[in-house]
């Protein structure tokens, strides 16, 4: 009993921890409604690749950002010319340089005059492009000042301070050339397909496991009810099943606490705080991995006896021998992932731990009826929209996206994400999805399958197939929107919730089951198809 309570507390806490869900691929185009726009000053802030060659040998590659003004860049490297780099004289390029240029790219330093003044001076000196070195390690959006001459026919790109120092060092004794281009993302990356399959497959596994355990419990209770045994009368209504049913109050509080936790992450995000999240994620991952392995191995006769034999362990209560045997492996796996989480293929371990955790949550935490599911997803829908979009008005940036990326730490995002590296994207990065975008709609999908099995619904007359299909479609629309927005972070629940919840509610009303689904959440008890034949 104590083991079940400890497990439920751990899982619910992890659900709260992982509730910041979204779809994100990393911005390559930065729209800005604050920076002024007018003819000649209406470019998007695009990221720019700047590969360099030293004495004809390719060396480093830097990433800059294009200005609001100037000529747009090529999108393909093969169309970008290799052009010699020249250092401006004077270095700030606030007046026409003394250099006698013949189409070189000119390198200048920020300061002493406006960006457009520098660009106009470089164009007058016959430069083919201007690279402006920032006075900080971060990139800065180059906008246009009032009354500026905006008839600028050369590209303008800003590079970070360290890139400028390196380039100037190379130019001392060598010939340096550069190419400027801003590649576009492919319409569809195979990583998004795999991520879609991972999310859908995780919900399918969790839903079938949840429905199977519910059906087994229904069969057992039906037996007890048939025999009218004292055991049933004593166990009826006692929460000893190891499952946790959410109610409307906890559904609302869940979103409130999730918001508070998200703000705390935003305000106190640091490398040390990320370590705390990694430890908590590993604890939840160990629990999820162990639960899934025990359930899977218990299906084989060879392991059934070990799974049904228990020993009392201090602080944990009765624990099966099978659990004790698997636990060291699960702990070792989590520790190894935490230690080597910065290597290139660490995302595989993170996804394994995350999927196991999500499946365990979907099996243990349950939505008892459609009313609770509507409240939970409705609140999560508003939560996602608020912290992705509306939070920009108060914090001047999207709180959820900043937290998920780990912008205020040295880490590559928080661990409560499923992620896959983008395989054919020239900008690299990861396609990711938050745990909340799988768990929250997954709870509704699992409820639909439990109801179908208990009510003896077939695929056509049931709700699971349609709700699952709606989730698949909603997730697909999320990634379509993500690509249409040039990689801007999108709240996945903005698209998923209307599809899944709307489909469920519409079908329930159309078929006349809405009242039962809304309040009771299960067919009349005992279920007719579970009632055993009387003994002759």
Instruction: List the catalytic residues.
Output: 384, 437
DSSP state of 192: H
| Nearest alpha carbon to residue 36 among 64, 66, 65, 69 | 69
DSSP characters over 309-346: -EEEETTTEEEEHHHHHHHHHHHHHHHHHHHTTTSTTH
- Helix (H, G, I), strand (E, B), or coil: what is residue 62? strand
In the DSSP assignment, the letter for residue 55 is: T
| Phi and psi, residue 51, nearest 5° | -75, 150
E strand or H helix at 503: helix 493-511
The vertex-425 CA angle with 420 and 430, nearest 5°, equals: 25
C-beta of residue 182 within 8 angstroms of C-beta of residue 29: no
User: Which long-range contacts link 380-384 to residues 24+ away (Cβ below 8 Å)?
Assistant: 380/19, 380/21, 380/255, 380/436, 380/440, 380/493, 380/497, 381/493, 381/494, 381/497, 381/498, 382/255, 383/19, 383/255, 383/258, 383/259, 383/493, 384/21, 384/22, 384/436, 384/491, 384/492, 384/493, 384/494
Q: Return d(Cα 349, Cα 398) in angstroms, integer.
A: 28
Q: How far apart are the first and last CA of the chain?
A: 37
> Within 13 A of 291's CA, how many CA atoms are on the CB side?
28
Cβ proximity of 51 and 78 under 8 Å: no
DSSP secondary structure letter of residue 38: B
Q: Which of 364, 215, 385, 342 is nearest to 295 (CA)?
A: 364
DSSP state at residue 95: S
CA atoms within 13 Å, Cβ hemisphere of 301: 0
Structure tokens at 164: 């400028």
């Amino acid at each position: 009993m104590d083991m079940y309570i400890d497990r439920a507390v751990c899982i619910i806490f992890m659900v709260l921890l992982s509730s910041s869900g979204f779809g994100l691929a990393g911005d390559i185009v930065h729209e800005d409604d604050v920076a002024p726009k007018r003819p000649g000053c209406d470019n998007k802030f695009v990221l720019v690749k700047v590969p360099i060659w030293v004495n004809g040998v390719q060396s480093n590659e830097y990433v800059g950002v294009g200005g609001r003004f100037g000529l747009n860049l090529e999108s393909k490297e093969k169309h970008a010319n290799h052009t010699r780099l020249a250092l401006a004289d004077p270095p700030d390029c606030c007046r026409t340089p003394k250099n006698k240029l013949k189409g070189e790219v000119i390198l200048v330093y920020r300061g002493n005059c406006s960006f457009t003044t520098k660009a106009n001076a470089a164009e007058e000196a016959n430069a083919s492009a201007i690279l402006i070195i920032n006075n900080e390690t971060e990139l800065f959006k180059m906008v246009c000042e009032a009354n500026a001459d905006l008839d600028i026919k050369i590209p303008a790109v800003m590079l970070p301070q360290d890139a400028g120092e390196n380039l100037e060092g190379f130019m001392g004794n060598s010939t340096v050339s550069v190419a400027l281009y801003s590649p576009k993302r492919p319409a569809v990356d195979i990583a998004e397909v795999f991520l879609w399959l991972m999310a859908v497959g995780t919900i399918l596994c969790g839903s079938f496991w949840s429905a199977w355990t519910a059906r087994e419990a229904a069969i057992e209770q039906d037996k007890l009810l048939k025999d009218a045994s004292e055991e049933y009368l004593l166990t009826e209504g006692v929460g000893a099943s190891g499952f946790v049913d959410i109610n409307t109050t906890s559904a609302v509080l869940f979103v409130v606490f999730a918001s508070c936790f998200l703000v705390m992450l935003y305000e106190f995000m640091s490398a040390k705080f990320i370590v705390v999240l990694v430890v908590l994620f590993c604890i939840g991952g160990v629990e999820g991995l162990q639960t899934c392995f025990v359930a899977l191995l218990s299906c084989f006769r060879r392991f059934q006896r070990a799974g049904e034999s228990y020993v009392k362990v201090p602080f944990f209560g009765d624990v099966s021998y099978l659990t004790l045997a698997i636990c060291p492996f699960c702990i070792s796996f989590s520790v190894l992932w935490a230690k080597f989480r910065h290597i290139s293929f660490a995302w595989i371990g993170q996804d394994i731990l995350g999927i196991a955790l999500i499946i365990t949550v979907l099996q243990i935490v349950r939505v008892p009826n459609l009313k609770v599911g509507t409240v939970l997803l409705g609140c999560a829908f508003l939560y996602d929209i608020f912290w992705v979009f509306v939070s920009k008005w108060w914090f001047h940036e999207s709180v959820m996206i900043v937290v998920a990326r780990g912008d205020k730490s040295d880490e590559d995002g928080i661990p409560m994400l499923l992620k896959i590296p983008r395989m054919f994207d020239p900008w690299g990065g990861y396609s990711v999805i938050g745990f909340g975008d799988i768990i929250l709609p997954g709870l509704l999908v699992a409820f639909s399958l439990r109801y179908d099995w208990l009510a003896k619904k077939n695929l056509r007359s049931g709700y699971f197939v349609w709700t699952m299909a709606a989730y698949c479609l909603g997730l697909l629309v999320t990634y379509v929107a993500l690509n249409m927005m040039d990689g801007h972070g999108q709240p996945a629940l903005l698209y998923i919730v209307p599809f899944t919840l709307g489909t469920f509610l519409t079908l329930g009303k159309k078929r006349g089951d809405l009242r039962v689904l809304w309040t009771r959440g299960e067919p009349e008890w005992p279920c007719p198809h579970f009632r055993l034949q009387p003994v002759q």
